[in-house]
Structures are given as structure tokens and as C-alpha cells.
Structure 1
């Protein structure tokens, strides 16, 4: 399986550079072609006396795009495609571009808020994570400051169900393509809370272990499994070792629209707690296999 076309949403700021660094890393390791896109607000129609203002606004937008792409070329090189799209929402603009450009994955940086090394979901991410027809890859804040030399392990956040089984099929194939190890983790949230009965917690642990073992059986490559426990998602996610080049994979909510990215509450919490980039897959029909190829 190959990722053949990577789309990087870019603005000339730290968020744009974080996403671009991750997109370049993924495209380089998979041999994919890359498109760098900036989404700008549309010029307003202004017949009559306002046409002079419109012309100045268009010139300003063109200058901003040129300056941004000059910065992007220093990272992505001359072989990437550089395009500008107009939309009132940057995420919606990237969604439209993904629909029309045969894109396999859309990569963006973290939102403006949040701490370094983690992902904040801003308006661009929110629009993509509820409508993108292609998987969405999110880079943590500050990722471009010290990027890894390559992706060195995939970790699937697993919970038994068709969506996660489809995500596992993709992860197995992607791990083979990248020639990296694959890990499945299941979160047991509630450990350490007095109100959680001990027997209930033991049952959760046992079920998680069983689900992980069954999911790992019969795969085409060895799969490491691990149960992460904590009083909340953040604590659980902090209870394991994350490699510098780790990539976390999430399935979309099974209640979301088919063939789109759509997140549930737990997935949002995992993204916000994740210390590494997160790849969110689109939801596939029952019985089908997720693929990043067309």
C-alpha cells in the first residue's frame, strides 16, 4: 500500500511550518508527491467605485501567498505543487481541495492554543475533522523545531468494532510499506478512582487484553499490544513510552458519515492528550477495508 499524494495546508507561521515538516517527512518516506496549499478569504465583488479597493485586496492576497510559498519551498523543495484556494474557512477550503485533487491524506499543524508537544484543535482542524473525504494528519505544536528523522512506529488506538478493525488493516499495510513496528493500545479509563469497583476494573482489563490479542492474531506482521490505564485519557496516554518518530492512528466514529472523517468524544480527548502526530481515518462501510490509495 502506498500513500501517493500528500496535501499540506500551509500558512507562513509556526503552525504552518509544523504541518509542513510532518507532510515532508511522510511524503519522503512513502515516495508520495506533495501539494502545498494556502487557503485565503475570497476577494469580494465590488462593482463601481469599490473596484480600486478590490484590486488592492487581490494584490495583497497574492503577495501574502507568494511570501508564504517562498518559505514553504525552503522546506518542501521545488518538486512540490504550490496552489492557492479561496474560501471563508481554511478547513472547508482544504476539504474542497481534497475532494477534487485525488488526495490520500491532508496534513495540518496544531491550532494556536495549547502547549508545546501537543495538539490543539482550532477551527481549521474542526472543519477537516467533521467533513474531510481523506484521512487527516495533525502535527503537534512545535513539531518543526525538532522533527524526527523518520516515522519509526505506528500505534493504533484500538477499541473492538468494525471501525477499529478497518483502521488496523490499514495500519498493518502502512507499517509494511514504511517497514516500521506496529503497536495496538487500548485505554482503560477509570483506574485509580475510588468509585470504580475493583471487580469492574478487573473485567475491563481482561476484556481489553482479550480484544487486543484477538485483533493481533493472524496479522501479516508482528503486532505489539499494550493496555494503558489511568483516571482519565490524559493520564492513560502518559503511561507508556512514545518514540520520537511515532505516529498514532485513530478510526473515525462509527456513527459518522461514510467515507468522511468524523470524531467522537473519546477520540477528541485522545488527540488532545497525544504527544505525537495523530492520523484520523475516514469511516468506511461495514466489511470494507480502509485504504489510502485510490
Structure 2
């Protein structure tokens, strides 16, 4: 398995390469840096089309040459040009042929430094991928020689979110990284429009946090039954007037990533960016790994494997999921517009 990083002519790709290097080093995987040679129409035998194809290939090779110096000697890397009808399709094809465990891309060019911007290519990848897609903030740089220090999994309180969290903990353990479960909330606009007092609003949000912490404590108990444990286990709840302030209300480490699951499922069970997921991705102060449903199931399988023969007898995911408290106030607050 490998880590595939997509670069493109004329785009700033340093952040994506730096994130790819971090992941490849942390998981001991080969780094595959791919530039896609895409044309607006199928190539023909004419001299004009052949010349244009050579021009596109040269641009792709120049994009690869520009990022080669960013890959340190301790990371094994290959660089390739792949022809496809579009950048999105090409990157998915390379990921499949290389058996990638992650596809890494950078932010759209209009993103500010330190922020994540979703352009047409990254949005298309998130909607069409069947493997986790990691997005680097604009200008992302990890410390020299760094490995993943911590994986934070966003927890929404749903059964599918439990699967994602348990699987992400298993992935963190494989990298020798710490692990944190984090939930976020903003002050619902509906409270203001309904003239609900601040005291009543605080009571509702306090109850929401109590339920979240109760459920995450149960999940941590399950993770402690893994044969291979993450380097550390933590929980956090972030709050603020908007998603940006909510995510930044908790501390983040330099070599950390945030894992976010699909907020809604399309007919192909791939990533669909709902309003909350999109806002969390754009507001994250660290790289984000978006996990589609199929990859979530693979994460769950990894966690099940780590539960299976543990002498302490912790339940497998299927059993644990039935023990998750039924939705109540948690889902009522989550159904509102949180900014």
C-alpha cells in the first residue's frame, strides 16, 4: 500500500507533498507523487493534437521536478505522469492501481495561508473517492523528520460515527500516534430566532456536552481493549460562535490530523459533503482526512481485529454499537443550523 499525492502544473503543491511525506513516514509506506496529463478532448492523430499532448506532458513533468526536492531521503518515493480525461479521474485511477491507503491533495489556490480551500478537483475527489482523502491547508509544513503525533476523530454521536472513531484509533495505533475524540458545537441560530434566553441555551448545550462526554468515555473503554493501543487517549469538546472558533477552542499539535466521516451517504456510498462536514473541513487548523462509507467499514474491520482476542473481553463493534445510548437531545441539537 502507498500514499498517493496529486500535484498539478501551475498550482501550489508544497502543502500536499509535506503532508504526504508525514503520512508516508508515519506508516512506513512508499510515497507516489502523481501529475495528471489531462486534455479537454480525446487525443487524435493530428499533428496539432500530438504537439498539444507533448506540451501537457512537459508541464506535468515540470510540476514533478518542482516538488522532488521536498521529499527527504528517508522517504521512498516514485514520481509519475498519468494520462486521464480529467485530474479527478486520473488521481482515482492512480490510487487504485497503486493500492493507495490515502490520497493526498492540496487546498484550492484561493485559500488563505493555513486554511483549507475546496476547489472543483478536491470537491470532485471527495464525492467520488472510495478511499480516505487527505487535504492539506495552504502552505502546510510539518516539522523536519516529523511523524504523526496525534489523530483526532470528529465524533457526532451517531452509530456510524462510533465505527469511524474506533477505526481511526486503530489507525493511530499503527502509526504509534496519540488519539483524541473531539466533538464540536456552535450556538444554534434557532435559539436566537426563538428568543430563547441565554440561560436556557446554556442548559441545552451543557446537557449536549454531558451526553457527548458520557458516550466518548464508553468508546475510550472499548479502545483500551485493543491489543495495540495509541500512544495516548484523550477527549475534547470545542465550542464557539462559529465553526472556526469552535475548532480553535481546543489545542492542536503541529503534526496532527483531523479525521472526519461522511455526513450523508449518496447512492454509491461515497463521500458527500453535507453542510456541517464542509464547514468543519474549511475551518480545520490542521490537515483533514475525509473518510467515505466504504473506508469507514474498513476502519471498523481493523478495530474488530484488534478487539477479537483481547483477554479483557471487550465487545466487538457489532455488539458495542447496540449498547450506544439512543439519540435524544444530542440529535435534537444536531438537527438545528449550527452556523
Decide: shared fold, TM above 0.5: yes
CA distance in 1, matches of 2:11, 2:154: 28
Q: Note closer, same or farther for the CA distance 1:287–1:31 as it changes in structure 2 (3 Å cut).
A: closer
CA distance in 2, matches of 1:145, 1:159: 28
Residue 250 of structure 1 is matched in structure 2 by: 260
Q: How does 1:24-63 map to 2 (within 5 A)?
A: 24-42=21-39, 44-47=42-45, 51-63=46-58
Whether contact under 8 Å (2:37, 2:82) holds in the other structure is yes
CA distance in 2, matches of 1:287, 1:52: 49
Residue 239 of structure 1 is matched in structure 2 by: 249
Whether contact under 8 Å (2:261, 2:296) holds in the other structure is no
Q: How does 1:1-294 map to 2 (within 5 A)?
A: 4-13=1-10, 15-42=12-39, 44-47=42-45, 51-76=46-71, 79-144=76-141, 149-190=146-187, 194=192, 195=195, 197-198=200-201, 199-220=203-224, 221=229, 222-257=232-267, 260-284=270-294, 289-290=299-300
Whether contact under 8 Å (2:43, 2:53) holds in the other structure is no
Whether contact under 8 Å (1:115, 1:141) holds in the other structure is yes
CA distance in 2, matches of 1:19, 1:291: 28
Residue 77 of structure 1: how far off its partner (Å): 6.4
CA distance in 2, matches of 1:291, 1:23: 24
Residue 286 of structure 1: how far off its partner (Å): 9.1
CA distance in 1, matches of 2:144, 2:12: 14
Q: Helix, strand or coil for the counterpart of 2:100?
A: coil
Q: Helix, strand or coil for the counterpart of 1:129?
A: helix
CA deviations over 1:39-68 (Å, ceiling 9, x no partner): 122364345xxx221222122122212222
5+ long unaligned stretches in structure 1: none
Whether contact under 8 Å (2:243, 2:279) holds in the other structure is yes
5+ long unaligned stretches in structure 2: 303-339
Whether contact under 8 Å (1:11, 1:17) holds in the other structure is no
Residue 10 of structure 1: how far off its partner (Å): 1.1
Q: Helix, strand or coil for the counterpart of 2:12?
A: helix
Report the TM-score, using the length of structure 1 for normalisation.
0.87
Report the TM-score, using the length of structure 2 for normalisation.
0.76
Whether contact under 8 Å (1:21, 1:143) holds in the other structure is yes
